[in-house]
Structure 1
Amino acid sequence: MWLTKHYELGRMSAVLVAFAPTVPPLVAAWWSYQRDHEEAALDLSAVAQMLADLVKASETEQRAQLLAGSPHRIPVSCTWSDPADPAVERQGDLSGVLAFYEGLQHRRLVVTGASGAGKTVLAIELLLQQLRQREGGAVPLRMPLADWDLGLPFEDWVADYVMTLLQGRGVKRGTAVDLVRARLILPVLDGLDEMDTEATPVAERRAARALSQLNRYHDIGGGAAIILTCRTEQYDELGTMDLRLQQAVRIRVNPVDSEQMCKYFEDRSDNPQRWQPVLDAIRTARTGTLAQALNTPWRLNLAATVYERDPHTLTYTRDPAELLSFAAPSDVRDHLLRHFIPASAEHHPTSPKKYPPHLIHRGLAAFAGHLRFQTCSHPGCSHSDSSSLFLHRLWPIPGRNLVRLLDVVFLLPFLAALFLVVPPYLSFDSIMGSPVERYALTLLIAVIIGWEGVRDVFTLRDRYPVSVPMRKSGSTARIPEVRYMIFTFTGMVALGGLLGWAIAKRSSDQDVPPIAATHTATVLLSLFLALLLCGFCRTIIGLRVTRRFLPSGTLLLVDRDENFIDPRDQVKGNLAAGILVAAGVPASIGVAHWSGGLFPPSAHGATDLQFASYLLLLGVFLGFFNVASASRRFLLFTLGVRVRRILPLRVARFMHWSYQAGLLRVAGSSYQFRHRELQDWLARNPSPVNH
């Protein structure tokens, strides 16, 4: 009523009232479409198979990365108790463990061992075996437990993790929840010990609360299938308080013995004679410093990498005999970690000289420090340590206040442009005679279209960003799916054109003036349509129709043949979604305006230019402060780290280079350090040391 009286929106109100009877049929049609989409398109078995293909490709790549691309495998031996007779212990290699797991009733397994003993590699081997033998059963999915916010129920966390993998593949979160509830996901939970620091009292550990939730994770037969990895010492400490995974069988990964160490160095080295003093020391003192320091696959690979020859000069820059000078295993560990970064840079497969070692060390140390003090977003969770590096969550590294300040600076030019365009455009209306009213209305518009994106930074929300699907371009590059963007953009423009044409035809047939008879009504109606189109774009991106979800295969919007996940996809896809909205909103409303059915033709050329500028600002605001908030935040983060000189300017490229060098690994849609020991060492030693 107030709008009708003061802004002469009577005609628009009448039209909206006339359109009101069409709303229930539209809602019913949309509900029917959603039901059809859920029943026919999103079949759980099809989604599970898609997830299985994705996990298999990703974990195969990660296994090769963990083994450093070397054909020389370190034999892993394990010990476990016979379920039929717990007093009887059995030993076996990897193949024996795989056969043993197949015979378990509840499929609940705990893998323990020392740091670097090969627990993760064993879990990946179990995962890949389950995928090879899978015939419509559960899909094993490896997840880092350190990233679990315990304020979130376990099943919800698993569903969220599934969504990070299936984002851009036409799957809604409700389908991910159904997968978990149907027990079509086999959680492979890596790193129970990484949920807490060693100084945390046992009674206060997050691991204890995690075990409590895991013990309530059931299926029809009792405890649902779970594979869990944890360091031996931490799991034993939890056991002293009767905290353990119920109905689970425990497997212990044994340390590597001296003969296995020597055989590994002899097989891997191009010149085994260089290692002879080390091998003699290991064989002579089987419980000595070197034997204790190198008794895990991780440390063996670490030493072999550090003392390999430079692939470019074909010379050896370091002598393994220097390992004999250390008196304690911790000294050997620190020495190897100190030289691991420059050695990995030398052996980078494509661009070894891209970054100097001191810059690599400083950048990775910044990531390690960020993980050390990263806090949860859920109330009541004191989680202050993590292991996963999501690109859109790195923004606090240069300082939370710095990124917030940059966000405000980024907002001010657009806000100033809005105040330069809209109030003069409104001044042509006699009903907006007061400048206070014009500027107040402009401020309200700015708050409406920019509030959500700004709130993401100021309230520290970590949502999964809206993003368009990605595809491969060439051998390695990944770009947004162009066909998908063209389809969505065309749909937005067609929607605006159809609306304008329908109302223009009605106006010409019945001699009815345009809906928005004043400039004020034009601004408000454009805002309403812009928000509607933004929601339309979000909905289309959320549906992500693919060929596998269409029985006939006649419609193809996105074709995802590749299955490997690139953590950079979330930011790239989110930026593409923002650009799509920034271009689609003004184009669609502009087509409606050009048709002459929505807004009055103006006799002033200046007002047309101002209105066009207003539409462009609407698109930019909604695109970059509403939809693309994650990518905007990441771009401001890259600027912030450049100002502080913490990281290279192209952070995403640096992280991918580090992954290729074997310093980082990929877990789902995030990066992780190659090993937790490397992460902790960098957090303790943020400054580069002389090599």
Structure 2
Amino acid sequence: MRWWVWIGRVGFVLVIVAIAWWCWHLTRLDQTEQAAAITTQEAVVAAVGAVGAIASLFPKLFARAALPPLETRADDLANAMLPQWRKAIEERNLNAPLPIRWHRATRPVAPPVTDPATGGSPPLPGAARVTAHNLERGTQDDLYALYAGLPSGRLIITGNAGAGKSAAAVLLLREALEIRQRASPEDRAIMPVPILVNPHGWDPETTSVESWLTGQVAEISGARRGAAELVTQRRIAVFLDGLDEVGEELRPKLLRALSRQTGFRLVLLSRDDELVDTAQRHALLGATAVALRPVDGGEAADYLLSRLVSPAPPAWQKLAAQLRKGGRGPLAAALRTPFMLTLLRDAYDATGPVDELLNRRRFPNAARIEHHLLDRALEAAYTPGPDRPPQRYSLATAQRTLGFLAHYLSQNDGGDLKWWSVARWAAPSVAARTLFAWAFWLAVQIPLTLLLGLSYRLADGRTVLSGWLIGEVMGLMSAFAAVRPRMRAPRRLPPHLWRAPFTANSLLVVMPAGLSMALVLRLFSSTLPGVTGWLVDGLVCWLTLVFVTTLLNTAQDDDYAFDPPRSWRDDAVTSLVLAITVMLGAFEAGIGFGMQFRVGLVNVLAIGALGGLAIGFWQWSFSTTWRVFCRHVELALRYRTPLRLMRFLEDARQRQVLRTAGPVYQFRHAKLQERLNERWLKSRQSVPGNS
């Protein structure tokens, strides 16, 4: 339900309460005072009636602003995503990747298609209809032709772990966006905008494909309005990565739901073994599958030597010669994927002892080589060097922190490290959650008790501890919100915030609610005297409600994707502005409260300031960044992670240990996460008391 509907309902209740209080108040006045009060009442009723009349005469003013045309929204989404994916390609070093080669899949990962050129929908503008001949083999440059020319619009890209599926998808997605951007307006109108999504958290038995995709588009674009139309009108193409990472029983259900939908183009990425097992129970109907080919020894040798100054050092020449010989040795088996080759590139510099990998006693199988390269790549990332960021964290700190994150992310968020979901990282026990709640409660309750107690002392001489009861209740509310396992998505500071009071909803719904709230505040003796004071109080309540509701209902849009630090900073700024807004409203109410006592102007202002600071600080305690920072403190105490965890994550991204995907971090590859998780579990088992 929209926020202004709730404000209207609350405002109606406040009006009823204010009328009841006013009638009770009249019975306590003498005849002269009653006559004056009734005159004031008539003026107020006339003003409220005038506002109601205006609202009834102009109902269309309550309608929301019209959305831009569908084509414009699709173009805006594509234009916002293209620079972000270009940046992601730079972060992943994909501008000069290994040759990505594919052939038609021979394993039973999809139903057999006799002639892919028959039936279906026409190809996208500029593309030719795919035939069986086009599916025999190809390179990365040919993938767009399959994506745009398959009549079914369904393409499966499979391969072993590390075969380059994600790299192929990212490069294909960028190419699709660039071709769409260069197309004419008429062609763009029928060319969908590709989005990369992960099925983690989607249950097709409770959520339809369209509903799930609407949520995904809303999360990517940052705006839920209009997201459903982009999905229902087939203005998006779906790149689905991570099917092999969801539960084994859930995969057939996902493919069944995707098979039943029609209209949007779909590119499915999955590992071979998992997809073969899933296809035996339910396959993606109408799909055409291609498999990524392993890197052969000659390609691997050429790639490794291309980054070195000719002639290459003897150790690298020896390694390249062994790769060119082929065979089935441990080295050739380990370096058949682009990921392992890039690990080798990062693990050894030009003068490194890379030929040690040829030692059969030390590396008897491919798994030993993979583990060695994974460990050494992390060591190389945190070794000081001229081409690396300044050294902020030791290797031991990095291994401990990244191992902790790898372990808990594998159990909670499917590999997506969302900074606002830190409550799920720690997987705390009941005792740990209780201790955290007590610590958070004290951190909020003590400042509130002192601030409110000082205001009471200035007002009528009560002790400082007189604010203890209110501080305790407010602290318990904050602690309860802090220990919730889920946190809301980050917010942003909306552009042109100053315009919020001048909208139709603000003038016709929120303003009457603010005037009604000012009447209710008289029950607590927290208003300025007289009709003028009531109008001033109503104006402040109105502006406070307007800015608070605007800030609470503003999510971060697509401009913030691929930049988690900016997402964090802007959520902190928005929370601070929200706290200041609430503080100013409480400051005015505090002044009204202070004027009820026989104290000087300085004390009245001090009472208002202390009350405003207390309420503003209380509001800040509900902010995501503050609660997440408290979790960072908890993690630092329990697991010795860096206190400034966001800075550590960004440093790891700069060292190419992590990567960004939207406003979240991910490990560079699932194998790296798995290896760090293994080492974390071993380290915990070696500590007494841990199991």
TM-score, normalised by the number of residues in structure 1 = 0.75
**Contact kept in structure 2, 1:368 and 1:679, CA below 8 Å:** yes
Letter in 2 for 1:124: V
CA shift for structure 1 position 36: 5.2
Give me the whole-angstrom Cα distance separating, in 2, the residues matched to 1:485 and 1:643: 39
- Percent identity at matched positions? 22
Contact 2:242 2:269 (C-alpha < 8 Å) held by counterparts: yes
1:652 maps to a residue whose letter is: M
Match of 1:332 in 2: 369
**1:668 lines up with 2:662 in the alignment:** yes
CA distance in 2, matches of 1:183, 1:599: 60
Aligned counterpart, 2:127: none
Q: Name the Cα RMSD after superposition.
A: 4.4
**Superposition pairs for residues 439-478 of structure 1, below 5 Å?**
442=470, 446=474, 451=477, 454-468=479-493
What is the alpha-carbon distance in structure 2 between the residues aligned to residue 288 and residue 337 of structure 1?
Answer: 19
Q: Confirm or deny: 8 A CA contact 2:452 2:614 kept in the other structure.
A: no
Task: Say if 2:117 and 2:132, in contact at 8 Å, map to a contact too.
Answer: no
**CA distance in 1: counterparts of 2:334 and 2:228, whole angstroms:** 44
Match of 1:641 among 632, 635, 641: 635
Residue pair 1:54, 1:564 contacting (<8 A) in 2 also: no
Contact 2:540 2:588 in 1 (8 A): no
Q: What are the residue-to-residue correspondences of 1:203-242 with 2, within 5 Å?
A: 204=249, 206-219=250-263, 224-241=264-281
User: Relative to structure 1, is the Cα distance of residues 2 and 300 closer, same or farther in structure 2, using a 3 angstrom cutoff?
Assistant: closer
| 2:215 aligned residue | 160
In structure 2, the CA distance between the partners of 1:406 and 1:530, relative to structure 1 (3 Å rule), is: farther
SS of the residue corresponding to residue 685 of structure 1 reads: helix
1:107/1:515 Cα in 2 relative to 1: closer, same or farther (>3 Å)?
closer
Letter in 1 for 2:525: T
Which one of 95, 99, 104 corresponds to residue 145 of structure 2? 99
1:683 aligns to 2:677 (yes or no): yes
The residue correspondences of 1:514-593 to structure 2 (distance < 5 A) are 519-522=524-527, 533=543, 535-541=545-551, 565-588=562-585, 590=587
Aligned to 2:317: 276
Verify: 1:388 aligned to 2:416, yes or no. yes
Structure 2 CA distance for aligned equivalents of residues 499 and 96 of structure 1 = 60
3-state secondary structure, aligned to 2:294: coil
Q: Give 1:604's aligned amino acid.
A: V
Deviation at 1:318, TM superposition (A): 3.4
Name the counterpart of 1:183.
234
Contact 2:526 2:589 in 1 (8 A): no
CA contact (8 A) 1:116 1:296 kept: yes
| C-alpha displacement of 1:236 | 0.4
- One-letter identity of the residue aligned with 1:144: N
Q: 1:643 to 1:614 in 2, by over 3 A?
A: same
SS in 2 for 1:83: coil
The one-letter code of the counterpart of 1:45 is E
Decide which of 284, 290, 296 is 1:251's aligned counterpart.
290
Aligned to 1:116: 162
**Secondary structure, in 3 states, of the residue corresponding to 1:686?**
helix
Q: What are the within-5 Å matches in structure 2 for residues 334-413 of structure 1? A: 334-346=371-383, 349-374=387-412, 386-398=414-426, 400=428, 401=433, 403-413=436-446
Match of 1:322 in 2: 357
C-alpha spacing 1:412/1:259, structure 2 compared with 1 (3 Å): same
SS of 1:38's partner is coil
Q: For structure 1, which segment, 115-124 or 636-645, has the greater mean C-alpha deviation from structure 2 after superposition?
A: 636-645
Is the CA contact (8 Å cut-off) linking 1:265 and 1:272 kept in structure 2?
no
In the alignment, is the contact (CA less than 8 A) between 2:541 and 2:585 conserved in 1? no
**1:97 Cα offset (Å):** 2.2
- Change over 3 Å in CA distance of 1:662–1:514 after alignment to 2: closer
1:490 CA displacement: 12
Greater Rg, structure 1 or structure 2?
Answer: 2
Distance 1:603 1:682 in 2: 67
Q: Distance in 1 between matches of 2:539 and 2:438?
A: 31
Gap change, CA 1:587 and 1:141, over 3 Å in 2: same
1:126 to 151, 168, 172: 172
Aligned residue in 1 for 2:183: none
Residue 327 of structure 1 aligns with an amino acid whose one-letter code is P
Q: Distance between the aligned counterparts of 2:553 and 2:61, measured in 1?
A: 12
Secondary structure at the aligned position of 2:675 is classed as: helix
> Secondary structure, in 3 states, of the residue corresponding to 2:268?
strand
Contact 2:423 2:486 survives alignment (8 Å): no
The answer to whether residue 63 in structure 2 is matched with residue 35 in structure 1 is yes
RCO higher in 1 or 2 (8 Å CA, sep ≥ 6)? 1
Q: Residues 635 and 542 (structure 1 numbering): CA distance in 2 closer, same or farther, change over 3 Å?
A: closer
Distance 2:639 2:653 in 1: 21
SS in 2 for 1:146: coil
Once the two structures are superposed, what CA deviation does each residue of 1:595-652 show, in whole Å capped at 9, x if it has no partner?
x8x9967532345533332232222223432xx2x11221112211222353212111
Question: Amino acid of the residue matched to residue 92 of structure 1?
Answer: G
Amino acid corresponding to residue 98 of structure 2 in structure 1: R
- Residue deviations 1:239-289, cap 9 Å, x none? 122x12222211111111222112212222332532233233333342222
Q: How many residues align?
A: 599
Confirm or deny: 8 A CA contact 1:75 1:260 kept in the other structure.
no
Residues 322-353 of structure 1 deviation map (CA, whole Å, 9 limit, x = unaligned): 34331111111111101111212346845242
Q: CA deviation at 1:140?
A: 0.7
Amino acid at match of 1:209: K
C-alpha distance in 1 between matches for 2:100 and 2:486: 45
| 1:609-624 superposed matches below 5 A | 609-624=606-621
1:193 alignment counterpart:
244
Whole-angstrom CA distance in 2 between matches of 1:164 and 1:489: 27
Counterpart code for 1:273:
P
Q: Is the 8 A contact 1:112 1:251 kept in 2?
A: yes
Partner of 2:33: none
Instruction: Give the secondary structure class of the aligned counterpart of 2:564.
Output: coil
Q: 1:539 to 1:83 in 2, by over 3 A?
A: same
The 3-state SS of whatever aligns with 2:66 is helix
Residue 297 of structure 1 is matched in structure 2 by: 338
Distance 1:90 1:633 in 2: 54
Q: CA deviation at 1:298?
A: 0.6
Q: 1:333 to 1:405 in 2, by over 3 A?
A: farther
Which one-letter code corresponds to 1:321 in the other structure?
E
Structure 2 distance, partners of 1:348, 1:238, is: 47
Q: Aligned letter for 2:492?
A: S
Using the size of structure 2 for normalisation, the TM-score is 0.75
Measure, in 1, the Cα distance between the counterparts of 2:540 and 2:69: 34
One-letter identity of the residue aligned with 1:181: T
Could you say if the C-alpha distance between residues 439 and 652 of structure 1 is closer, same or farther in structure 2, counting changes exceeding 3 Å? closer
| Structure 1 unaligned blocks of 5 or more | 197-201, 310-315, 375-384, 430-434, 470-482, 504-512, 546-557
Say whether 1:656 aligns with 2:653: no
- Of 140, 150, 153, which residue of structure 1 is paired with 2:194? 140
1:312 corresponds in structure 2 to none
Alpha-carbon deviations, 1:545-601, whole Å to 9, x = none? 9xxxxxxxxxxxx9x99776311233322221221122223335656887x8x9967
Q: Is the Cα–Cα contact under 8 Å of residues 243 and 251 in structure 2 kept in the other structure?
A: yes
Structure 1 residue identity aligned to 2:277: E
CA–CA separation in structure 2 for the residues paired with 1:31 and 1:318: 77
**Structure 2 CA distance, aligned partners of 1:181 and 1:320?**
56
Relative distance call for 1:84 and 1:181 in structure 2 (3 A) is closer
SS at match of 2:270: strand
Secondary structure at the aligned position of 2:577 is classed as helix
Q: Paired residue for 1:308? A: 349
2:58 and 2:374 map into 1 onto residues whose CA distance is 58
Q: Which residue of 2 aligns with 1:199?
A: none
Structure 1 residues 58-67 or 276-285, which shifts more? 276-285
